[in-house]
Structure 1
Amino acid sequence: MVRILFFILLVLALALGFGWLADRPGELSLIWQGQRIEMSLMRAATILISLVAALLIVVWLIRTIWLSPHTVTRYFRARKRDRGYQALSTGLIAAGAGDAVLARKMAGRARGLIRVDQEPLIHLLEAQTALIEGKYDDARRKFELMADDEETRELGLRGLYLEAKRLGANEAARQYAERAAEKAPHLSWATLATLDQRSQAGQWDEAIRLLDQSRAANVLDKKEANRKKAVLLTARAAGRLEADPKAARDDALAALKLDDRLVPAALVAAKALFREDSLRKGASILEKIWKQEPHPEVARLYVRARGGDSAVDRLKRAKRLETLRGNNAVSLATVAEAALEARELELARTKAEAAARLAPSESVFLLLADIEEADTGDEGRIRHWMAQALRSPRDPAWTADGVTSPTWLPVSPVSGRLDAFEWKAPPSPLAGATEDGRLDPDDAIRSLPPVAPDQQATAPAAPAATRSEESQPVLEAERPTPTSAPIKLPERKEPAAPPAKGEETEEEEAAPFFGRPPDDPGVRERMVEEGSKASFRLF
């Protein structure tokens, strides 16, 4: 496009020049070797421009003829290179499609048409072909060659990293990922792999430093980087809680600034503040996160913030949580548990049934069973609530990769992934199956059997007394005495008398212990008798 514009401008300039000369006519005289040459100015300019153009054409022809061997060589070289790149492209497509035969064929053709030092992608094609064919050692050697090359270092390190992960060589994979992260911090796979491995080893300081470097290089999104750093700070704070509560508090508060919905960070911060006797600050942190997302662990820590509180004081704190987040199953269950401890059984039953109506779960119905045992002690009603618990969905727990943990962990024990645990209901094939496929808490509450008549007349402590009576040992007077029935002794048999000396007993012929051979009929008795009477003879 630029050349076309330049050509148009040149033509316009020539036209303007000739027009300017035409408007201003003149004569040009030239004396050369005694001859006088006269012509108009327009004609002289035309001849001059024609001579310049002819000179340029002659120079171009001479240059073309002089450089023709190099031009021809370059043409064939470019044609060969184009064929090589075409083979390389076809081979990479075949390797991606899983066609090992075509990929190997194109790799050989590309190697013959293009030099390897000029195009390192040939190593990649050969490595991919070796992986498809199952020749992992050859592929590993190709990746090592690529890792030594400055241009393909990152590609070779990634191939070696994937091969090490496939073989389960976690230490080698860690080294490859660290090399890639040091040479190229902008690689997200190297940064995340190194981050996960350092987190598995508990190297929180190194992991946080690497995360800051990757964040400066814009490898991770800002929100994702803040979340991961908050998790790392929470993990470091949990490790420092026993030895250095102040440092644990600072890390946990920094994690909450990055992610104010991280429940483990709030728990660690509150525990550290409680250790420093800062009850009000710790309670305010728990109340703040409780307003966002009610959590059973937050409620448990908030209710038992002070060790010397009575059951009534804990009930008051549970009611405080209910006022902060009303009409919530976790809030109602927390009040029900505290009321059960305070022996306010009517309030406990009301709150537990309300929690069951909002979100039926296994723990809520088990809580109702405990309330029933403390209130009436009716075994039938207790079994009713326990049966409902078996049919209810499981309670949420810290779950990652199909594994549940009683406490939050920063790294998954299965995959080693950072921030893998989530508070959710674990998968269970036995959860909550009913006849219509759905558990109705109202039906479960309405179908509660009435209190047995023998349980109505007794106090709640009666079942314990009954159990204590049942567990008493049997007295000696109550034990049954043996009857004086006559005992029949077995009759004594007299041994058989031995035979007399003159008598002969008939004994059967004893068979060989191992039996006779299958082809040996044995010695017949008649032949034995005849042989004993006859004398020895050869014939």
Structure 2
Amino acid sequence: MLWSLFKIILFVVAVAALTIGAEWLMESDGGLLIQFGGWELSLGVLQAAIGAVLLVVVVWLGLMVLGFLHAVFKFLNGDETAISRYFDRNREQKGYREVGEAMMALASGDGAAALSKATKAERHLQKPELTTLLVAQAAEMQGDKIRADQAYKKLLGDNRTRFVGVRGLMKAELAKGNTDVAMKLAEKAFALQPRHVDTQDTLLKLQADNGDWTGARQTLGAKLKYGALPRDVHKRRDAVLALSEAGVLLNGEAGEGEQLAAIEANKQSPDLVPAAALAARALVEQGKKRQAVKVITKAWIAQPHPDLAAAFAAIEPDEVPAARLKRFRALTKHREGDADTRMLLAELHIAAEDFSAARTALGDLAESQPTQRSLTLMAAIERGEGADDAVIRAWLAKAVTAPRGPQWVCDNCNHIHGTWVPVCDNCGGFDTLSWKTPPESEASVMAGSDMLPLIVAAPTSDPTEADVDVVDGAEQTEAAKSDPERATEPTPEPPHADYVEPDAPVDGEILAPEVEVKH
């Protein structure tokens, strides 16, 4: 509104200025006298002004004619496009001007103006690498997906613009959620320009999301080859992908190829806990137990983890608790002050019914770093030493609301995963999981119903005898209150490490299934 008013005022001012100027010229005395040889021409002031304007026009026309004659001369000398270029020159100038204005409109976020200018530039210029791309981007900004797809498809017909067209269609399919089509387009774009970093990353993510670990490893190798990835980062991520290839080891369906992939993953990144655990199981299946021990020990030195302890136990699954305790010394002598090592030793001593040694191994961990695992172990120790049920259940009550301790947490979004995965389930980040204690606001706490079998005594055959009330957060049966002998009966054995339902088997379980305690 204001701009229109300003233009109107400017036009009125210009007309008034021209009128005043013409009137002044008409009223002015004097003029212009031109003499040439015996020829003389006298002009008034207004006539001289008009003559000057006409002279400028004549000079401009003369230059245009000279330019045309030059083009004709080049055409006659064999340049077949000289005349067409002459007439196209003005159109090109307009086209480039429209291109510049379209780019400015795109930068400012004005999609409608950008699309209008890009369309005009497309009519004036024969350069699809500029105009068609601008049309596509402006259409995307406007939300016109059909026009954008049409523009990108036009780019496919030229070798110079085919890569841009493929990438544009790939992004459009990603926006629609068509990941299968997007991955095929990403593979095509990668084949056209394997050095393009953004295409490499997009293809790698799509392959990882679709479980194409072999293709993802090839893409990762290309990133290393073309300098888009440091060698140490490549080794780590290649190990993650090799581990993902061997993931079927978890359900016991691995063949020789998967076993080799697990071992290769461990060689690439010895500190990668899942790779070490799977590699150890693969080596055990091959009868190479000593190598399996070395693999787990090396990973334990880098980072103690319950999965490593379970894999170490699975090397000799049928050994008695005393023999297991002795064999585990090769592992527990490393990182002795670490919480996982101390809790592992406590579990082993509990299984061997050496509750005094278990208390010594656990130390003050239940008070200084209270977690569900350390508090449950403390309850098991108290039970083994013959403590009252009230003491045992007090420890278990604390475990109900205690944090779980370290878990697999995404470094990008802090999402917690129950097991290690190569791609975050929440944000889609690749190789972003770390074994660490999650932020307090993100930490997941085991629900009270999950801990209930640890707190409530074994059910009796008569349901009426199991009336329950809550005392200091721990649950106690009315039958146990009225029967002193029943009150001294041992509670069910707390599980080691992370709790699972009683009927669920634990792979590589360290503790003996049943521990008979005599008071």
TM bucket normalised to smaller: 0.5 to 0.7
- 2:491 is aligned with 1:463: no
Q: 1:67 aligns with which of 66, 70, 74?
A: 70
Closer/same/farther in 2, CA of residues 97 and 388 from structure 1, 3 Å limit? farther
| Cross-structure match for 2:177 | 168
Sequence identity (%): 28
| Cross-structure match for 1:101 | 112
Measure how far apart 1:403 and its partner are: 5.1
CA displacement 1:137-172 (0-9 Å, x = unmatched):
111211222233321222222221121111111221
User: In 2, distance between residues paired with 1:272 and 1:465?
Assistant: 40
- 2:435 is aligned with 1:423: yes
Q: Is the 2:128–2:155 Cα contact (8 Å) retained in structure 1?
A: no
- 2:350 is aligned with 1:340: yes
Moved more, 155-164 or 401-410: 401-410
Rg (Cα) greater in structure: 1
CA displacement 1:62-113 (0-9 Å, x = unmatched):
x999738789987886565355334323322322332123313422342344
Q: Is the 1:409–1:421 Cα contact (8 Å) retained in structure 2?
A: yes
| Cross-structure match for 1:397 | 407
Q: Is the 2:263–2:282 Cα contact (8 Å) retained in structure 1?
A: no
Moved more, 180-189 or 199-208: 199-208
| Cross-structure match for 2:374 | 364
CA displacement 1:456-475 (0-9 Å, x = unmatched):
xx9999632799xxxxxxxx
Q: 1:147 aligns with which of 141, 148, 156?
A: 156
| Cross-structure match for 1:277 | 287
Q: Is the 1:372–1:381 Cα contact (8 Å) retained in structure 2?
A: yes
Q: Is the 1:233–1:255 Cα contact (8 Å) retained in structure 2?
A: yes
Measure how far apart 1:330 and its partner are: 0.8
CA displacement 1:351-402 (0-9 Å, x = unmatched):
3343345643332222222333333353432343234334543322234466
**Match runs of 1:12-27 below 5 Å:** none
Amino acid paired to 1:84? G
Closer/same/farther in 2, CA of residues 460 and 134 from structure 1, 3 Å limit? farther
Amino acid paired to 1:264? P
Q: 1:110 aligns with which of 121, 124, 129?
A: 121
User: In 1, distance between residues paired with 2:128 and 2:491?
Assistant: 90
Which structure would you say has the larger RCO, counting Cα contacts within 8 Å and 6 or more residues apart?
A: 2
Q: Is the 1:362–1:394 Cα contact (8 Å) retained in structure 2?
A: yes
Amino acid paired to 2:108? A
RMSD across aligned C-alpha pairs, in angstroms? 3.7
Measure how far apart 1:267 and its partner are: 0.9
User: In 2, distance between residues paired with 1:82 and 1:460?
Assistant: 103
User: In 2, distance between residues paired with 1:148 and 1:196?
Assistant: 28
| Cross-structure match for 2:423 | 411
Q: Is the 1:369–1:385 Cα contact (8 Å) retained in structure 2?
A: yes
| Cross-structure match for 2:235 | 226
Measure how far apart 1:334 and its partner are: 0.7
| Cross-structure match for 1:297 | 307
TM-score between the two structures when normalised by the length of structure 1: 0.62
Amino acid paired to 1:270? A
| Cross-structure match for 1:315 | 325
Structure 2 stretches lacking a partner, 5+ long: 1-65, 75-81, 446-471, 473-479, 493-519
Measure how far apart 1:417 and its partner are: 4.9
Amino acid paired to 2:118? A
User: In 1, distance between residues paired with 2:444 and 2:485?
Assistant: 31
User: In 2, distance between residues paired with 1:77 and 1:466?
Assistant: 94
CA displacement 1:333-366 (0-9 Å, x = unmatched):
1111111111111222233343345643332222
Q: Is the 1:100–1:129 Cα contact (8 Å) retained in structure 2?
A: yes
**Match runs of 1:125-524 below 5 Å:** 125-239=134-248, 242-243=252-253, 246-356=256-366, 359-400=369-410, 404-414=416-426, 417-426=429-438, 429=441, 463-464=488-489
Closer/same/farther in 2, CA of residues 90 and 258 from structure 1, 3 Å limit? farther
| Cross-structure match for 1:27 | none
Structure 1 stretches lacking a partner, 5+ long: 1-62, 434-447, 449-454, 468-539
Moved more, 331-340 or 346-355: 346-355
- 2:87 is aligned with 1:84: no
Q: Is the 1:245–1:275 Cα contact (8 Å) retained in structure 2?
A: no
Q: The residue matched to 2:488 in structure 1 has which SS?
A: helix
Amino acid paired to 1:410? P
Closer/same/farther in 2, CA of residues 349 and 466 from structure 1, 3 Å limit? closer
Q: The residue matched to 1:394 in structure 2 has which SS?
A: coil
Closer/same/farther in 2, CA of residues 246 and 359 from structure 1, 3 Å limit? farther
User: In 1, distance between residues paired with 2:299 and 2:263?
Assistant: 12
| Cross-structure match for 2:23 | none
Moved more, 288-297 or 188-197: 188-197
Amino acid paired to 2:489? A
Amino acid paired to 2:171? L
TM-score between the two structures when normalised by the length of structure 2: 0.64
Q: How many residues get paired?
A: 382
| Cross-structure match for 2:133 | 124
User: In 2, distance between residues paired with 1:349 and 1:357?
Assistant: 13
**Match runs of 1:7-46 below 5 Å:** none
Q: Is the 1:312–1:342 Cα contact (8 Å) retained in structure 2?
A: yes
Q: The residue matched to 1:324 in structure 2 has which SS?
A: coil
User: In 1, distance between residues paired with 2:97 and 2:301?
Assistant: 63
Closer/same/farther in 2, CA of residues 377 and 88 from structure 1, 3 Å limit? farther
User: In 2, distance between residues paired with 1:261 and 1:249?
Assistant: 18
User: In 2, distance between residues paired with 1:266 and 1:417?
Assistant: 22
User: In 2, distance between residues paired with 1:159 and 1:396?
Assistant: 43
Closer/same/farther in 2, CA of residues 83 and 424 from structure 1, 3 Å limit? farther
User: In 2, distance between residues paired with 1:174 and 1:430?
Assistant: 33
CA displacement 1:155-212 (0-9 Å, x = unmatched):
2222211211111112211221121122222223333333333334444333333433
Q: Is the 1:248–1:268 Cα contact (8 Å) retained in structure 2?
A: no
Closer/same/farther in 2, CA of residues 64 and 181 from structure 1, 3 Å limit? closer
Amino acid paired to 1:209? Q
CA displacement 1:460-502 (0-9 Å, x = unmatched):
99632799xxxxxxxxxxxxxxxxxxxxxxxxxxxxxxxxxxx
Q: The residue matched to 1:306 in structure 2 has which SS?
A: coil
Q: Is the 1:120–1:152 Cα contact (8 Å) retained in structure 2?
A: yes
Amino acid paired to 1:423? W
Amino acid paired to 2:198? W
Measure how far apart 1:255 and its partner are: 1.9
User: In 2, distance between residues paired with 1:460 and 1:325?
Assistant: 44
Q: The residue matched to 1:120 in structure 2 has which SS?
A: helix
Q: Is the 1:329–1:358 Cα contact (8 Å) retained in structure 2?
A: no
Closer/same/farther in 2, CA of residues 189 and 68 from structure 1, 3 Å limit? closer
